[in-house]
Amino acid sequence: DIQMTQSPSSLSASVGDRVTITCRASQGVSNYLAWYQQKPGRVPKLLIYGASTLQSGVPSRFSGSGSGTDFTLAISSLQPEDVATYYCQKYDSAPFTFGPGTKVDIK
């Protein structure tokens, strides 16, 4: 089965900073990659699918890129409400494995 990794495992940045999170698949998954945001005590929320397509209603400061094995989630200008853990998930075929998550805090 394909394994998913994320880096860093956590980060702390200032409001307004650009933040990037990397997700890597152990084998190519084409562009079948989704990103989720989970705020503390809340249910995960879909941000991006198809590696780069923004889900309806998601702020445009979020963007995704990549294909194959290497993917990036970027937040162009970090806001206090973006404090959360971010997960990638591959969905080229089952099992639909999640990455271990990246926790984002405000410095």
User: Does residue 91 touch another protein according to CB under 8 A?
Assistant: yes
Give me the residues paired with residue 37 across strands: 45, 86
The answer to whether 5 and 100 have CB atoms below 8 angstroms apart is yes
* 99 secondary structure, DSSP code: P
Interface residues for another protein in 21-50 (CB under 8 A)? 32, 34, 36, 38, 43-46, 49
Smallest distance, another protein to C-beta of residue 20, A: 20
The CA-atom distances, in angstroms, between 79 and each of 22, 55, 76, 82 are 19, 19, 9, 5
User: Binding-site residue total for another protein (CB under 8 A)?
Assistant: 25
Residues found near another protein in the complex (CB under 8 A): 1, 32, 34, 36, 38, 43-46, 49, 55, 85, 87, 89, 91-101
